[in-house]
Copies of this chain bind each other. A is one copy, B any other.
Amino acid sequence: MTLVKVYVTYKESILDPQGEAIETAIHGMGHNDINGVRMGKYFEINFTDDAKDIDTEIDTICDKLLANPNMETYRYEIVNAEGAK
């Protein structure tokens, strides 16, 4: 099994209302040494051992399903088999 970790965040140019709301809440908790919060989605995807071309598959899955290409960008890490469940 191979674990792939995917991180999907808004593009820099896109307003991140959730991130801003969280930053306001954090400041409300008294943490004033924080200057910028961004929120995104995190996925852990397990590939079976017979997966051929994980990079291509992940790109297809992200482009078509996990990330909105107009507003979001993604990056991923392939964790070796030991890191997977």
Q: Chain A: residues with CB nearer than 8 A to chain B?
A: 1, 7-9, 19, 22, 25-26, 29, 31, 33-48, 50-52, 57, 60-61, 64-66, 85
Q: Which of B7, B33, B47 lies in contact with A33, CB distance below 8 A?
A: B47
Q: Are B42 and A7 interface neighbours, CB within 8 A?
A: yes
Q: What residues of chain B lie closer than 8 Å to A44, measured between beta carbons? A: 9, 36-38, 40
One of B8, B31, B39 near A43 (C-beta < 8 A): B39
CB-based contact B39/A42 at 8 Å:
yes
Among candidates B26, B45, B65, residue contacting A65 with C-beta atoms closer than 8 Å: B26
Q: How far is the CA of A43 from the CA of B22 in the complex (A)?
A: 10
Given contacts A9-B44, A25-B65, A36-B44, 6 further A-B contacts (CB under 8 A): A22-B66, A26-B65, A31-B61, A33-B50, A37-B44, A39-B43
